[in-house]
Amino acid sequence: MSRIVYVNGDYVPEEEARVSVFDRGFLFADAVYEVTTVLGGKLVDFPGHMARLARSLDELDMAHPADDATLLGIHHEMVARNGLTEGLIYLQVTRGAADRDFLYPEAAEPTLVLFTQEKPLVDTPAARAGISVITLPDRRWARRDIKTVQLLYPSMAKMAAKRAGAGDAWMVEDGKVTEGTSNNAWIVTRDGRLVTRDLSPAILAGITRAAVMRYAREAQMTVEERAFTPEEAREAAEAFVTSASTFVLPVVAIDGATLGDGRPGPVAQRLRALYIEESRKAAL
Ligand code: PMP
């Protein structure tokens, strides 16, 4: 059965969905995106994703394709038309189609595309066993706070991790971990403090990161926002990553060094359960 995809105002079968070869998303990666999780047929953290989308667009002087209420309606329509109960909604906005030129076109209509991906997110083998990560140099551009579709280096890094038998890579710059290839990196110190890198252009401001931080603090846990080294991570009691599609995913080994007993730690497991429970309650 083919999916129904949204393209510039139309809901069409995926085989019929088209964008121009002159689209700047295709030619210049001149595009931003968001991925919103669907749990029980409802949207997790929708306002957070839309606020970040608006910021990404503004940072690139890109037109907003629609207001938040309209985008919410489109997301709900995509859930309904695709019968989605658990999975993801991918949204991409490009600057639009124009004759190829580095300068931004004076008048181009933004392109808006959404599609769904159905997949189990709550009960997964990775969540049960945890993942291992390797560290690699961070060779992305310097504006990682903007959620652009320039994902080639993260793709290369995920391939390198796969070849090394690991589940993902943590990227390192100036001796400190920036973030995972598609997630924010966290450690739990031996005295139980949660540590995740402070926000700056060096990393993406994860919507899941913000929610987990809030829930952790509400549960009286201490959260420190600061950079940490790969060495500190290898000696941590626990580690995990956060993202919309993985929630809180335990990390059980870093560059071959096993953390604790090599199984998901209690803090990561508790935060995962808390995050899923609270997200279900607040979902739209
Ligand atoms: N950092 C990077 C580089 C990412 O690609 C993602 C996922 N899009 C995240 C962090 C996590 O962000 P979120 O929690 O909003 O999914």
Task: Using the mean position of ligand 1's atoms as its centre, give its distance from the Cα of residue 203 in Å.
Answer: 9
Question: How far apart are the C-alpha atoms of 232 and 218, rounded to whole Å?
Answer: 26
Domain 4-118 and domain 125-282, same fold? Reply is no
pLDDT at 107 over 90: no
User: Residue 1: which pLDDT band, with cuts at 50, 70 and 90?
Assistant: low
Percent of the chain residues past pLDDT 90, beyond the cut: 99
pTM for this entry: 0.96
User: Which top CATH class is 4-118?
Assistant: alpha beta
Which numbered atom of ligand 1 lies nearest the CA of 181? Answer: 3
In CATH, what number does 125-282 get?
Answer: 3.20.10.10
Nearest CA to ligand 1 atom 3: 182
Question: How far apart are the C-alpha atoms of 192 and 34, rounded to whole Å?
Answer: 32
Using the 8-state DSSP alphabet, how is residue 109 labeled?
P
pLDDT per residue as tens digits for the range 150-180: 999 999 999 999 999 999 999 999 999 999 9
Among 232, 183, 173, CA closest to 204: 183
Question: How far apart are the C-alpha atoms of 29 and 11, rounded to whole Å?
Answer: 24
Where do the structural domains in the chain lie, given as residue ranges?
A: 4-118, 125-282
pLDDT per residue as tens digits for the range 191-208: 999 999 999 999 999 999
Residues with CB under 6 A from ligand 1: 35, 179, 182-184, 204, 206-209, 242-244
| Known catalytic residue at 147 | yes
